[in-house]
Structure 1
Amino acid sequence: MLFTGSMWCTPSPSDLVMFDIINIMNSQSNRTSGKHIKGFNNILVALFTMIIMINLMGLLPAVFSYSSHLLFTLTFGLPLWLTLIISAIHYDTTTWAASLLPGGAPDWLNPFLVLIETVSIAVRPLTLSFRLAANMSAGHIVLTLIGSYAAAAVFASWSALLLLFFIQVIYIMFEVGICLIQAYIFCLLLSLYADDHPLK
């Protein structure tokens, strides 16, 4: 892209779309504390772009959908979440430990609140990864079911075939939106997790 972009006076339409994608995630990560972590914006923008492309490629016929598998989503969710946690503990251990306990709680409730907050932080990479994998898998399953019914309708009824073809086209357009939204949610939640990072 850098090589071909340097040959034109004005950006190509694909470059403009890419700039819009970059600006969306960059502006989102600048709203959180992640802007204070060096390089975090660049990681989120690259991850956002990559997940969008992988999700959209999974919609093509006879293409393996990587983002519908938990191992693939955990490969990104777990290390990035763990990096934020380790960085927060290394940066300011006291502030990070204090964030496990909300202010103004009664003393007898403190151990339970710390335990609940610890569990909620520990399950973040699982919920992050499950959300992306489950939503992408569900969409592919529905597309497969509609396609199999349409293939059976070829020998049964042309009106049913046309109706199923119309439903399939509408659902593919819906699934394109889901691909974009799920990539955005994945990176949005990572940027929101950066809010727990202590700042000095």
Structure 2
Amino acid sequence: MPLSSTSAHTPTPIEDPSVYLDDPNRKLLEIDTDNRHGPALFRWLTLGMEYLIGVILVALIASVSCNVVGRALFNHSLPWADELARMLFVWLVFIGAAAAFSRYEHIAVDALVRRLPLRLAHILYFLQHLIITGLMGVMIWGGYQVLERSSGRSAIMNVPLSFISLSLVLCVIFIAAVAVWRMWVSLTVIRHPERER
């Protein structure tokens, strides 16, 4: 018996992508500025970093555009524009990394952890953030050494080189602080999982 024309052309429903993006086990560790979840200091710093990223991005585009226009139309390049663009790019990368860590937007493979019970998932989250904190401690120490030894200045704009290295130190301090807070939350869940249900 032939199928009716309506049932043969019924489109398959599109699956909701939040099923793959949202991890219910991770909700307690997220810093959400819209729903006011997470420590207020981290929420404000995250918003501040995101606005700063926007300002740096506009300044970076303006700097590079000025140099392109100068070369193309006036046959004259602006030597300070390249140097400024490099400095802005360094700051953009490190502030962006810190803001992305705060929002849980770094690439991660969470196929296993999202299928685990809450307590086991938070044991893995605790170990993950313990490793991150250790790595950030090493980077803070290395960044401090770089800051202490960088006494030079940039060639054209005469900006202290330590100012460029400061972006790394501020980034890793923020990431380490957020990781410590997430370890504390995970410890609370591991000890008392019934409270978080």
**Structure of higher CA gyration radius:** 2
Higher RCO (CA 8 Å, separation ≥ 6 residues): 1
Which structure's residues are more often helix, by fraction? 1
TM-score normalised over the length of structure 1: 0.30
TM-score normalised over the length of structure 2: 0.31
